Chains A and B, each alone.
Chain A
């Protein structure tokens, strides 16, 4: 069972597309809209995002693989679709 976590922004259209991708493929995932989260959660997300050396959303984690930016081809590949 794949573990998928997504960090997004409620104001970002690419993040919306990312959520739609998983919904349309009926793949369960959890997401947090960074801009709507409380401060401790925001700090935690930033720590993780900074550790990965990036600064944009969407930030998708499929098991151990991190994919930043809307990249549906890579999501498919990581999920073996």
Chain B
């Protein structure tokens, strides 16, 4: 679908519905930062209308199907250890269920987590 044809708000709502069911059993929930959530979901709708798949807005596409599949949202299962350690996913759309203040969760790459 071209960008001009999909209704962004409708698509965001349906992505929210599907994603919530996937991340819940993994111990995650949508971030309580609503502005961030809306911005990221909107970027994913745009990416989906361009590529046909809602990719993570904060990780690079490599034109390598096997690797690109690892950043299809929600990409938590492919980065479980890392995301469980920082209690959020890379772009911050999802956070651990027990987190009250997502602003306090730094965006750390895997190598730096144990140094905290």
Count: A-B pairs, CB below 8 Å: 58
Known: A54-B111, A56-B59. A13 touches B39 (CB 8 A): yes
Nearest A residue (CB) for B58: A12
Let me know if B40 and A69 touch, CB within 8 A: no
B72 an interface residue at 8 Å Cβ cutoff?
Answer: no
- Which chain A residues border B110 with CB–CB below 8 Å? 54
Nearest B residue (CB) for A17: B107
Enumerate chain A interface residues (CB-CB to B < 8 A): 9, 11-15, 34-35, 42, 45-46, 49, 53-57, 68-71
Enumerate chain B interface residues (CB-CB to A < 8 A): 36, 39-40, 43, 46-47, 57-62, 90-92, 106-112
